[in-house]
Amino acid sequence: MTTLPPTDIAIRVRQAGSLTLLQDRGRFGVRHLGVTQGGPADLYSWAWANHLAGNPWGSASLEITFGGLQLVAERDLEIAIAGADLGATLEGKPAPLWRRIRWPEGQSLVFNTPVSGLRAYLSVHGGFAAPPAMGSVACVAREQLGGFDGYGRKLADDDQLRIFTPTTPATLGITEAPAHARPDFQEPPQLDLLPGAQIAEFTGNSLFDAFNAWWRVDDRADRMGVRLKGPKLECRTRSLISEGINLGSLQVPPDGQPIALLNDRQTIGGYPRLGALSPLAASRLGQCLPGQEVRLIARSSEAVLREYRAFLAAFNT
């Protein structure tokens, strides 16, 4: 049985909203068992929320999708909210995003509906506390793993949320993200794609369309994957032996409409793949509302790896 460090009840859930999950970095080293990684759909915003709250890399945060969440502080807290603008208010006044703020005991923090983006991340100084399942508290409902109870349950009304007792002052570290680091989620994103897998099996016209057309995010989108609607892509390979699926894999089923696989994806798949989105591109796609347009941009693995390493270096300290 796992013994947790000292924790405190810090937050009470007045209204749970449509989908609020606990997410740390994710669950790794278990895909050979058929267990997916979970973790934040938008790694970038999750990392900033934790960083601004004064937490180390990997700390658990709340991933709030669409809004509708109402929380009450059970003690004075230092928090940060990053990611989507869900019209958050603190005791009825707009809650600042992308910066560390104080949340006084007894006050209500409410997330309403999306203004821009889809998912907001709430980090509390000290980090949310929960018993790990297979080395992580990342909540994957389909596999009944992680979350506050260890069984993959989303937040429910009247839940009481615990945080680790902080061991460092909340005054340390950066307290506000610079303007250039804050994404504009209303701007149509250009998503870096690493060509690979079966890309040579797609027709010339399909490859032209893949990288020159605007794709529209379908309403069939969740933490498992996002379907893109646009020109039909044709692949000469019709049948494959199932193979391992990485984050951001862009599968193309027989209907020719690509599916970008995200954090709660299956671990193997048999559709041909155009390539894979970079981790940061997958994060950006995770903030797209249905109907939003996106563009695929072919990038080299060297360039993407260089950018991703720089991102990790900035936070993983």
Which residues are within 8 A (CB) of 183 and not within 5 positions of it... i.e. 6 or more apart? 44, 45, 117, 284, 287
Q: Quick one: 195 and 176 in the same domain?
A: no
Q: What is the pTM of this model?
A: 0.95
Which residues are within 8 A (CB) of 37 and not within 5 positions of it... i.e. 6 or more apart? 26, 27, 28, 31, 138, 247, 263
Q: Which of 139, 161, 181 is the last residue of a domain?
A: 181
The parent domain of residue 118 ranges over: 7-181
Q: Quick one: 99 and 28 in the same domain?
A: yes
Is 53 exposed, middle or buried, given 0-12, 13-18 or 19+ CB atoms closer than 10 A? buried
User: Using an 8 Å Cβ cutoff, are 20 and 119 in contact?
Assistant: no
Q: Quick one: 158 and 299 in the same domain?
A: no
Q: Which of 76-90, 119-133, 231-245 shows the lowest per-residue confidence on average (mean pLDDT)?
A: 231-245
Q: Quick one: 28 and 131 in the same domain?
A: yes
Mean pLDDT of 115-143: 96
Q: Write the CA distances from 75 to 71, 108, 159, integer angstroms.
A: 12, 12, 15
> Total domain count for the chain?
2
Q: Quick one: 252 and 161 in the same domain?
A: no
Q: Quick one: 200 and 169 in the same domain?
A: no
Q: Quick one: 169 and 198 in the same domain?
A: no
2 within a domain of the structure (yes/no): no
89 within a domain of the structure (yes/no): yes
Cβ count within 10 A of residue 158: 9
1 within a domain of the structure (yes/no): no
Tell me the pLDDT tens digit for each residue of 6-53.
788 999 999 999 999 999 999 999 999 999 999 999 999 999 999 999
User: Using an 8 Å Cβ cutoff, are 23 and 38 in contact?
Assistant: yes
Q: Quick one: 101 and 216 in the same domain?
A: no
Q: Where are the beta strands (DSSP E) in 91-164?
A: 93-94, 100-103, 108-111, 116-124, 160-164
Task: Kindly state the percentage of the chain with pLDDT values over 70.
Answer: 97
Q: Which of 181, 206, 223 is the last residue of a domain?
A: 181
